[in-house]
């Protein structure tokens, strides 16, 4: 057995690019007896066996090794995982810290609007982070940077009586509420549940007391995180946390060898049993995210996340460029130098026969995909490759758009769901073409498993709807990833 395992690990690096290992997707059972066929013994079958008490643990351990540990070890090798382990732990702490602080700001805002003269939800950096006692270098640098910042907490005007009555009515209806008001409502529900007799009828005083209690809890969590005495790890019960890191600029520092996203997944999966589940925080995170979207925040990870994710600048000695001292320098007035007027000699105009006509080439408007389809039509060719380098520049995915696509189309990466969509709704045909924007997203963010699942179910030729341009049109395309395309995804358009 050991020689066989040793041989498998030896040949693994020869399999091709980093994404080929387990990102090849699934196939139909009639075509490929492998990934999509569950050959693992069922627990119910094993328990009926007379040898169950002797072999069960060995079988289960072997199953876990082949289906989980081996796959994770290939997708994210131990070398890269161990090298980035401490930084991954720090990034999850930093993100949790940033979202706790965003929640604190929301609670403070409503506390003041409800008439609190002195808010229990202090957001001043010195007040919030001065008692932190970090043990790691990354957290220490982040806190030193933040404590040097000057932030003036915003002042809020109090609500009118009509607004307060409206809020009380909304909270009493017990409906799902999103955004910043949803953050307050979530904290209020937990507080009312713990209160004897509940909050019937609901009063403004109940909201104020719940805000103070929630702010106290947030401050406690912040102290644990910044002192690195928490047990949060990968926050597996809050899917938004992993996605926010996956689509942030810091993943490039972990993405050495192309294993960044898989190492992120491995970190989350390996610590599920160790971490402390934050039920209240898991309710707050999606509402804070919605709040940041609504106010069109530049960083969906929260404002504090930026100040703690400057490792690439630290390595170049540029980490203080965001917090440089804003000392006012006296601006010296430039002495005005009077320029001598030079007389201009006027020349007689040359006689011209007539204005010369200059041909101006019209710039093609539209995406590279549209341009390829246009050339195909004009030349009469049957098939033409899209310039993928130019195609990448057609639409640049912001963090918000990328996150929305990942969440909204998460099910379409699954082999079984794609197969069902093909059989029941004719996915990939003219009736239900694949969106070109989504296909571009999969290629750009290297979601190879999803792409191979799509090819394995729909075939390498299917119809797409060009939703990148103003006039959406349906086109037949072919998508390839082989030796001829240098193992990169290439789109071909058919006439």
Residues 119 and 238 occupy one common structural domain: yes
Listed residues 292, 314, 336: the one ending a domain: 314
User: What 3-state class would DSSP assign to 432?
Assistant: strand
DSSP 8-state symbol, 431: S
Q: pLDDT band at residue 393, thresholds of 50, 70 and 90?
A: confident
Please say whether the beta carbons of 322 and 307 come within 8 A. Answer: yes
Q: Which helix (H) or strand (E) holds 435?
A: strand 434-435
What is the Cα–Cα distance from 127 to 132, expressed in whole angstroms?
10
The angle formed by the CA atoms of residues 84, 90 and 93, to the nearest 5 degrees, is 145
pLDDT of residue 224: 93
Element (H, E) at 458: helix 448-458
Q: Measured over all CA atoms, what is the biggest interatomic distance in the chain, rounded to whole angstroms?
A: 113
Same domain, 118 and 232: yes
76 Ramachandran zone, left/alpha/beta (phi>0; psi -120 to 50): beta
Range of the domain at 60: 40-75
8 Å CB contact between 149 and 322: no
Split at pLDDT 50, 70, 90, the class of 400 is: low
Q: How many Cβ atoms are within 10 Å of 174's Cβ, its own excluded?
A: 9
CA 293 to each of CA 194, 238, 285: distance values in angstroms, whole numbers, following the listed order = 31, 18, 12
Instruction: Say whether both 58 and 111 belong to one domain.
Output: no
- Of 210, 105, 112, the closest CA to residue 158 belongs to 112
Is the pLDDT assigned to residue 440 strictly greater than 50? yes
| Residue 55 shares a structural domain with residue 109 | no
Mean pLDDT of 74-99: 89
Is residue 428 within 8 A of residue 418, CB to CB? The reply is no
- How far is CA 141 from each of CA 99, 147, 219, 384, rounded to the nearest angstrom? 19, 10, 20, 52
Residues 238 and 108 in one domain: yes
What pLDDT is attached to residue 412?
Answer: 76
**pLDDT at position 328, please?**
38
Give the Cβ contact number of residue 165 at 10 Å. Answer: 12
Owner of token pair 């030896």: 10
| Nearest alpha carbon to residue 495 among 478, 475, 479, 480 | 475
Q: What is the tens place of the pLDDT at every residue in 248-259?
A: 878 777 766 677
> What angle, rounded to 10 degrees, do the helices at 137-147 and 78-113 form?
30
Both 48 and 120 in one domain: the answer is no
Count the Cβ atoms, other than its own, within 10 Å of residue 153.
16
Residues 290 and 415 in one domain: no
Rounded Cα gap, residues 332 and 2, in angstroms: 77
Compute the average pLDDT of residues 362-383: 82
Q: Is 142 helix (H, G, I), strand (E, B) or coil?
A: helix
Please give the distance of CA 455 from its chain centroid, rounded to a whole number.
25
Pairwise CA distance, residues 146 & 142, whole Å:
6
Q: What pTM value is reported for the model?
A: 0.63
Note whether residue 330 is domain-resident.
no
pLDDT digits (tens, 9 = 90+) for 22-78: 466 666 655 544 444 444 444 444 444 444 555 555 555 666 566 666 666 677 888
For the beta sheet containing 383-385, the strands, ordered from the edge strand earlier in sequence to the opposite edge, are 383-385, 490-494, 474-480, 461-465, 434-435
Identify whether residues 96 and 44 lie together within a single domain.
no
- Domain assignment present for residue 340? The answer is no
Query: Domain tally for the chain?
Result: 3
Flag the least confident range among 5-9, 59-63, 184-188, 210-214.
Answer: 5-9
Asked if residue 341 is part of any domain, the answer here is no
CA 392/CA 437 separation, integer angstroms: 11
Do residues 382 and 278 both lie within one domain?
no
C-alpha triplet 226, 298, 88: angle, nearest 5°: 40
Mean pLDDT, the chain, integer: 78
**Please, which pLDDT band fits residue 447 given cuts at 50, 70 and 90?**
confident
């Amino acid at each position: 057995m050991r020689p066989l395992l040793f041989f498998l690990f030896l040949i693994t690096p020869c399999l091709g690019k980093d994404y080929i290992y387990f990102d090849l997707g699934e196939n139909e059972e009639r075509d490929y007896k492998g990934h999509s066929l569950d050959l693992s013994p069922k627990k119910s079958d094993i328990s009926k066996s007379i040898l169950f008490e002797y072999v069960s643990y060995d079988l289960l351990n072997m199953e876990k090794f082949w289906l989980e540990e081996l796959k994770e070890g290939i997708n994210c090798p131990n070398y890269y995982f161990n090298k980035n382990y401490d930084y991954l732990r720090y990034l999850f702490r930093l993100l949790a810290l940033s979202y706790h602080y965003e929640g604190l700001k929301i609670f403070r805002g409503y506390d003041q609007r409800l008439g609190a003269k002195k808010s229990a939800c202090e957001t001043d950096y010195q007040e919030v982070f001065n008692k932190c006692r970090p043990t790691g270098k990354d957290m220490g640098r982040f806190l030193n940077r933040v404590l040097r910042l000057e932030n003036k907490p915003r002042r809020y005007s109090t609500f009118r009586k009509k607004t307060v009555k409206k809020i009380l009515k909304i909270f009493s209806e017990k409906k799902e509420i999103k955004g910043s008001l949803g953050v307050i409502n979530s904290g209020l529900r937990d507080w009312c549940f713990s209160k004897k007799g509940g909050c019937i009828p609901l009063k403004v005083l109940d909201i104020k007391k719940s805000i103070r209690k929630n702010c106290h809890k947030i401050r406690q969590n912040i102290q644990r995180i910044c002192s690195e005495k928490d047990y949060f790890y990968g926050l597996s019960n809050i899917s938004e946390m992993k996605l926010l890191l996956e689509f942030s600029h810091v993943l490039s520092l972990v993405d050495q060898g192309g294993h960044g996203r898989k190492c992120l997944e491995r970190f989350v999966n390996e610590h599920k049993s160790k971490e402390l589940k934050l039920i209240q925080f898991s309710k707050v995170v999606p509402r804070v995210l919605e709040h940041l979207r609504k106010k069109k925040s530049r960083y969906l990870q929260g404002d504090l996340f930026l100040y703690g994710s400057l490792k690439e600048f630290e390595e170049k000695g540029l980490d203080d460029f965001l917090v440089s001292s804003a000392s006012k320098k006296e601006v010296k007035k430039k002495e005005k130098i009077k320029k001598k007027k030079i007389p201009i000699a006027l020349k007689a105009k040359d006689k011209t026969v007539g204005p010369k006509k200059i041909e101006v080439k019209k710039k093609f408007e539209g995406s590279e995909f549209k341009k390829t389809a246009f050339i195909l039509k004009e030349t009469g060719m049957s098939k033409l490759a899209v310039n993928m380098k130019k195609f990448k520049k057609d639409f640049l995915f912001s963090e918000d758009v990328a996150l929305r696509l990942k969440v909204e189309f998460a099910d379409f990466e699954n082999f079984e769901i794609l197969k069902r969509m093909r059989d029941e709704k004719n996915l990939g045909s003219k009736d239900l073409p694949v969106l070109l924007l989504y296909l571009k997203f999969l290629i750009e963010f290297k979601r190879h498993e999803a792409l191979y699942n799509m090819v394995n179910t729909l075939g390498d030729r299917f119809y797409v709807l060009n939703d990148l341009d103003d006039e959406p049109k349906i086109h037949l395309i072919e998508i390839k990833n082989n030796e001829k395309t240098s193992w990169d995804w290439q789109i071909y358009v058919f006439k």
